[in-house]
Structure 1
Amino acid sequence: MKSKINTLSVIAVACLAATSQMAHATEVFRLEGYGPISRAMGGTATAFNVGAAGMMANPATLSLMAPGSEFYLGLDLISTDIKVTNQVTGESISSNTHSSNRGPYLAPELAFTHRNGELTLGVGAFAQGGLGTEYGNSSFLSRAAGGLNTGLENSSRLLVLNIPFVASYQVNDKLTVGGSIDAMWQGLNLNLLLGAGQVGSLIGSGRVQGSLLPVLGGLPDMRGAHFSMTKNEPLASGVESWGFGGRIGMTYKVSNETMFGLDYAMESQMNDMEGRATLTAIDGIAGQIPLQGAIKLRNFQMPAKLDLGLSHRFNDQWMMAVDVSQVFWEHAMKDISVGFVTDSGQTLDIQLPQNYKDQTILAFGVAYQTGNWTLRSGARLATQALRSETLLAVIPATPRKHISAGFSYAFSKDDSVDFAYFHAFEESMSNASLPNTADPIQTTHSQNNATIGYTHRF
């Protein structure tokens, strides 16, 4: 058993290293569910068996699996439709594939579990979430103050990867408990232009400090500043870090037909993301002045999350599930804190305000089984975590209304395939406030997700 888990750990890391792209998250930076069974049922996963992917939701559900071993391999394909409109000029730019590290976005999932008696152990590799935009270098987002075209990129790509090590225990016929410790990796690519008005607003509110500030302020015709911390590669990121997370959970069988579930995921404990970057000062007279140096993104964490769930089986064919979740974004995402040190030792510290709100999510799903087929559908509704006055064009993580559908087909008692389709309805948000936008903007964001998974039991 130990050798199997060690082998799967190596495979998990290799699978994540082979990730070709990363998904836009559908609830800020988090995926709305894990595995096609959960995803087809609106992302519900707290109080019924969703297979090995349960280790990313409620680890206690692994005790609902059949005795023996199970291998799971899955893939997410995510296609987005994101547009930003300048509300002064009427110009629009869509996020498209302008470089090799952008969409369509693929995220693999891999897991192994083994149940022996009351104890179930497992290890997996999952994409927890992320974000991606690509606006190119010729839109209004690439113009500095005074309409100066810079030819500089505006883009983003955040990846958050989890490798959970999980244990679940069936205490008695009614109660199961479980927990996991997750190794976590996150990486960020970011190209961001701040106009002179944005820089001035940040300085005026005390959000910019450092020995480089008077140097930039001494330029004859300062028009803006551009940060570039990016690697145009499938997985490598401009800044990255390792850390850990974890979760605990339980299920309780209220009756033979009804089950209650509860789980809590801790806020991640990630090291500061570090790497190399270029700060380009843009001046109307001196032109572009690139400064190379080391950059650090401080205390960028994934939020804590609490789920309550209920499932009910009406008969051998029909069952339903409901989850209510609270995601604690307010504590995790107050500012984007950037520290930059040039190769000559000059410093610049910037705090971009975010001030996210806690998010409440209601998810619902139904399933119908007939023969070797199981048909599923669901819906999901979340409150908005982003505030319009701090919206950034490169972080339009606004969708909050979803519908889903999917199916499972059992080729035998040992092999099955699962599929889910998830649609995020278009969500619009406007921002006319400094410092996170130079001109009033409106973003619109919708997307379609497809998830497929294969399970082998032995």
Structure 2
Amino acid sequence: MTRMKIVSAAVALACLGMAQVACATDVFRLEGFGAVSRAMGGVATAIDTGAAGMMTNPATLSLMKEGSEVMAGLDLVTTDIEVRNKATGESASSGGHSRNRGPYAAPEAAFTRRVGEWAFGVGAFAQGGLGTEYGRSSFLSRASGGLDTGLDNSSRLLVLNIPFAASFKATEKLSIGGSIDAMWQGLNLNLLLGADQVGSLIGSGRATGSLIPVLGGLPDLRGAHFSLTKNQPLASGVDAWGYTGRLGFVYKATDTTTLGAAYTSKSHLADMSGRATLTAIDGAAGQIPLAGKIRIQDFQMPATLNLGVSQRVTERLLLAADVSQVYWKSVMKDIKVAFEADSGGDLQIRLPQDYKDQTILALGGAYQVNEQLTLRAGLRYATQALRSSTLFAVIPATPRKHLSAGVGYAFSPASRLDFAWSHAFSDGMDNSSLPNTSAPMHVSHSQDNATLNYTYRF
């Protein structure tokens, strides 16, 4: 097989195998890319983490050895999410209610080549996402007045990056890198809003359109349900393509100390569009479904600034630290929904989110036991980006604290296997505020991530 065929096969594997992406742990973003970074708490700005380093700082490609590498891997994420109704004591757990969600698996693949002062890379990685599945029979599927609807409450967001990266060793100490990433994101969503939530949105000017009088004219409106989902491994109810860019550098301050910095721009993604059903729920008339077109407008991934340092303490021991600033505030003020019914009429809704910018500290270490075996461990702590007053049960991206560990084993100078495990400690949040919840609720969320990468040099 030629090198070009190897590259094409690797990227195709990741793109076609991107079955499901987990509820990410830095809000919608995974807490590290590749098994080396993940095992070390997500550090990746000033160390060689292999091909996955292009997702954080493409200049780290210049830290790799001369030659070519192909990498294939898999992320597996299991979540433990529970929503408790504080008024009644009822609980709803996110589990395997559907073939569409959880546990979550995300293949990844990449090819890199370093020749002289230049290094190049191309790959496909899950940047992150979210996923919940509460089924059809919990209190979340109950409309105003205690009316059971039998309607689903669930979510699945997939975000895929396909970076094309290059790095140049400008001097013996300084390397500069950049990438252009093609991006794809897809969303499945089933969401029930009670009549009080609908009324709150209308009263605050967050729900407008010609369908508002239609809903208001129903004799006993109890709620409204949006369904934009496909129960298939790859397909999403709405999706969109776009791009982002990334610049970075690494600087060897001394023989044992390396500094790094990288900036990833805010994404430029088109509106996610597709088909949806808006179901009006009435106590007298029953359920009234309206099929139509839907757009999730200007749903973007945030810009990120990463600063990092690594220290070679001994020939066998490496320590590293990253500080990241994630600019959620500028991209996640509202979730904007525009619906046009096939039978006529439209509805525009702005669901408040009002995220805060997030600061993340990652600490990691690697110890090379011998020529074959390397042990890794890390810690990660993030400030909270979500606000309790705008929390949704279907978007419970609350974990902030992680512990990670991993191992790497070299079968030969050309072949190695890296494994990482990361635990997101349970984090809880309350919300009793309209319009994002009707019942006062407490949401708790923890999860475990496992990552396995195989790398072959040639």
TM-score by length of 2: 0.98
Amino acid at match of 1:395: I
Match of 2:277 in 1: 278
Give the direction of change, closer, same or farther, for the CA distance of 1:11–1:74 in structure 2 (3 Å limit).
closer
Deviation digits for residues 369-427 of structure 1, max 9, x if unmatched? 12111101000000000000000000000000000000111111100000101000000
Deviation at 1:13, TM superposition (A): 3.7
Q: Which position in structure 1 is the counterpart of 2:454?
A: 454
Q: Given that residues 380 and 401 in structure 2 are in contact (C-alpha distance below 8 angstroms), is that contact kept between their aligned partners in structure 1?
A: yes
Distance 1:298 1:311, change over 3 A: same
Paired position in structure 2 for 1:60: 59
| Equivalent position amino acid for 1:413 in 2 | P
Q: Contact 1:71–1:455 at 8 Å: present in 2 too?
A: yes
Shift of 1:344: 2.1
Q: Contact between 1:111 and 1:123, CA under 8 Å: does it hold in 2?
A: yes
Equivalent residue number for residue 146 of structure 1? 145
Contact 1:5 1:123 in 2 (8 A): no
CA-to-aligned-CA distance 1:156-187 (integer Å, 9 cap, x gap): 00000011000011111100000000010000
SS state of the match for residue 129, structure 1?
strand
Deviation of 1:5 (Å)? 5.3
* Aligned-pair CA distance for 1:218: 0.4
- Residue of structure 1 in register with 2:437 after alignment: 437
Aligned to 1:358: 357
| CA offset digits 1:96-126 (Å, max 9, x no partner) | 1111111110011100001110001110000
Q: Which residue of structure 2 lines up, in the alignment, with residue 419 of structure 1?
A: 419
Identity of aligned residues (%): 65
For the residues of structure 1 that align with 2:330 and 2:5, how far apart are their CA atoms? 35
Q: Which residue number corresponds to residue 262 of structure 2? A: 263
Equivalent residue number for residue 402 of structure 1: 402
Corresponding residue for residue 186 of structure 2: 187
Assess if the C-alpha contact under 8 Å between 2:367 and 2:374 holds in 1: yes
Q: Aligned to 2:140, what secondary structure does the other structure show?
A: helix
| Deviation by residue 1:234-288 (Cα, 9 ceiling, x = unmatched) | 1100000000012110000000000000000000000000000000000000110
- Counterparts in 2 of 1:34-433, with a 5 A limit? 34-371=33-370, 372-433=372-433
3-state SS in 2 of match to 1:329: coil
Q: What's the CA shift for 1:6?
A: 7.6
The amino acid of 1:342's aligned partner reads: A
Residues 60-81 of structure 1: CA distance to partner in whole angstroms, max 9, x if unpaired?
0000000110001111110110
- Structure 2: any 5+ residue segments left out of the alignment? none
Query: Is the Cα–Cα contact under 8 Å of residues 273 and 296 in structure 1 kept in the other structure?
Result: yes
- Separation of aligned partners in 1, 2:408 and 2:310: 18
Q: Distance in 1 between matches of 2:252 and 2:446?
A: 38
Contact persistence 1:5–1:122 (CA under 8 A): no
> How many Å separate the matches in 2 of 1:307 and 1:24?
22
Count of aligned pairs between the two proteins = 456
Report the CA distance between 1:196 and its aligned residue. 0.4
Aligned-pair CA distance for 1:4: 4.3
Distance in 1 (alpha carbons) for counterparts of 2:23 and 2:357: 20
Please report how far the alpha carbon of residue 19 of structure 1 lies from its aligned counterpart in structure 2 after TM superposition: 2.3
Shift of 1:11: 4.2
CA contact (8 A) 1:9 1:124 kept: no
- Residue 48 of structure 1 aligns with an amino acid whose one-letter code is I
**CA spacing shift, 1:205–1:419, aligned 2, 3 Å:** same
